Structure 1
Amino acid sequence: MIRIHRAGPREKIYFRPEQVKAAIITCGGLCPGLNDVIRHIVITLEIYGVKNIVGIPFGYKGFSDKDLTEMPLSRKVVQNIHLSGGSLLGVSRGGPSVSEIVDSMEERGINMLFVLGGNGTHAGANAIHDECRKRKMKVAVVGVPKTIDNDILHMDKTFGFDTAVEEAQRAINSAYIEAHSAYHGIGIVKLMGRNSGFIAMQASLASGQVDICLIPEVPFNIHGPNGVLKHLKYLIETKGSAVICVAEGAGQNLLEKTNAKDASGNTILGDFGVHIQQETKKYFKEVSMPVDVKYIDPTYMIRAVRANASDGILCTVLGQNAVHGAFAGYSGITVGIINTHYAYLPIPEVIAYPKSVDPNSRMWHRCLTSTGQPDFI
């Protein structure tokens, strides 16, 4: 049974504000809204009366790299950082051992740690929490889920997702215009989504311009009588153009396997977007049908923008509730929106496995209705 507590301020607080040294870190890749969350953590800490607030540069790496110094934070410093994308503190993957991090926290006198990151980062935060308990340190470790893919378990959505869908539509619209304006035009857009196709699905549904949407959760064939390319040929013959939206983690079973890992321990994916682009050109050459293929990968453009209004509000509440949770004495928790309510959950509950699109869900079937695509198996 999952233990969920309603997020928000409590009548009594565990920490004396004048004795608090709070630190904030941002890990992994960029995501719209990072600066918004940082800003509201700092502002809320100051409202509680905390004077000693620092940012640890470049994620967990900042705890061990002697060339990196902590950044003093205040309302004045963070006042306008939400007006731009990226992270004021910088981001990185990987980092030192848990014992090194906790040693550094002890040395610096940090007793509140706010960790902004995805599943891997939260696993690290939980390990830090466990190590602090083992050493009998009075430290609050609180996570704020950050994944543009929206793949954190139990969460309605994570910050940056709405912005990503909105920006992804721009790329899809560009692909549509390119394809629609060319003779036998085909636009291919690759979007984020290592293990889950939420961005590709929602952006395809929202745009209404996508003919084929491919996501990791739904198997498909490229070739054969029921394959993607056969249907693509039908679209060109009947409509004159087509748009394909593909999540980065789709079709990995069709690519050469690799055991390579990034600094966070994630498997480095093959580039399925480029693969389907090449296979499309090859197929239409074989069937002697001229096509004009345009490939768009807006990944870094999407994740580097500032948060939109919807995400800005979400980040505000998440930042505030992270501080409320720490002052209430919670540790080893993360804060998120669950069934429309803001709540605290134990970190292990949200990192058990990534959330994914249910192929039997109404939302996926709405997407299929919009694209008109068949099963490619």
Structure 2
Amino acid sequence: MSNPTSPPRNTIGAKVRGPFGFKKTYNFVLWFIFAGALLGFVLARFMYLNFNQFCPPSRISNGNNAAPGECYYYTNFNQYKIGILLHLGGVLPSGLLAVLQFTPAIRQRFVLFHRINGYAVLLLFLLSTVGALMIARHAFGGGLDVQALVGTLAIMCTVSFVLSYINVKRLQIEQHRAWMLRGWFYAGSIITSRFIFILAALIVSKLGGYYTARSCAQLAYIHKTAAETLAHYPACEVFFNGSNLDAQATVKATMTGGSASEVGAVLGMSFGMGLWVSLALHAIGIEIYLHLTPREAERLRNVSYQRQLEAGMQNPGSAGLVVDRFGDCEPWVSQAKKESDAASSK
């Protein structure tokens, strides 16, 4: 028998989640984990808005900025510098503002701010996507796996945000929620990928026997002098004597006692794989979450029904991009219609 003087269940949880506008503890926990990870990731990298923090003049990465040698392209080729500046200048503010979009207390109390902030988030993210596409050829080695991944991620995020925007303009709130969550979970795969590709780089270093090619120009940028570069990569002699400015050398991929160029090589080899795995995990994870929250989707669809009805739209409740308009599904019936039919049948 419960003690009548004991506090009700979830009192502590309600006090913690209440100021943020959450009605259910599990939603607050998920928001705290995922929005918190996004916020922490963005704040830790906000200093990169100062380009010299991302690409320090020393040329050698200190482990907190670009991979060794990557800044060769950002400092020597204007199109790549513009791309990285667009990407960093768009994605960091966008990620910060997105956390506010997913905070119910702000969304419910400050509707106009939520709308204006939403436009700002989408515009900044689209600019960052353009920048990412511009630098994909040389980001983390620029392999075909990385280029394909950047393109795939750009398509998935952009399509998700466009569908979310169309649905909110049609007052289809539950679909707006679903596609916005999808888009940001896809984008958030870059955070999870950090753990995966660094772990992969450590495993590759332990196993040994992995090599990749790097341009002699990039290797010279890392090692600073011709003598030091040639000491590691004699094949680059043809680059320094001017007979082959496009020469490349084979670089061992390792983080174990390796040079800066070898660390850059192993990070580049692991990055594409890590991000592909991370994207798959996030894509599966968000679908699981959406399928586990049908009550919230139904509640929001009834909200959509009321708003579309008041706006005089045709097919209220299904005015947006919903499956019963375009797919094989029974027509959706509002809660008000169900209650009316139940009352009339008595």
Query: TM-score band, normalised by the shorter chain?
Result: under 0.3
Structure with more strand by fraction = 1
Higher alpha-carbon Rg: 2
Which of 1 and 2 has higher RCO (CA within 8 Å, sep 6+)? 1
Given the two structures, how large is their TM-score scaled by the length of structure 1?
A: 0.22
Structure with more helix by fraction = 2
Given the two structures, how large is their TM-score scaled by the length of structure 2?
A: 0.24
